[in-house]
Amino acid sequence: GESQGTVVAGGNGRGDRFDQLSIPTYVFVDRDHSVYVSEWGNHRVMKWMKGKKEGIIVAGGQGEGNGLTQLSNPLGVVVDQLGTVYVADFGNDRIMRWPKGATQGSVIVGGNGGGGQSNQLNGPEGLSFDRHGN
């Protein structure tokens, strides 16, 4: 095997520039080998395309909050075949969907405070899809 790793995202110290990460939490790699990273510290999800030195914001990035352009301590991230980004928005007790190229997301589950009711989540963390996209 390889004796050295390759930096594919960040590597320029902690920060909020497009070539930095702050408390990266979850990672997803798509079919094109783009790497998606949720950042607890910057309240955003960044996409790092193969070979690029900077990422692009694909969800959040407007500071911590509960608006449709914001996330609060995002964790799990999954991207479907259309490039739609799904994020476990831990601090807002919700799952957000961000279509490819969107400037704001939509709440698809939760967002009604933390709890155990059918319309609530309590600090969602991980996300995954099965082979049918469910």
Which pLDDT belongs to residue 41? Answer: 96
- Provide the terminal-to-terminal Cα distance of the chain, rounded to the nearest Å: 35
Tokens of 9: 């995202």
Per run of 10 residues, the mean pLDDT along the chain (length 134 residues) is: 86 95 97 96 97 96 97 98 96 98 96 93 94 83
- What 3-state class would DSSP assign to 91? helix
* CA 80 – CA 29 distance, rounded (Å): 11
The pairing of beta strand 24-29 with beta strand 35-39: antiparallel
Q: What pLDDT shows up at residue 132?
A: 85
Tokens (6 digits) for 127: 């996300």
Q: Which pLDDT value is given to residue 1? A: 75
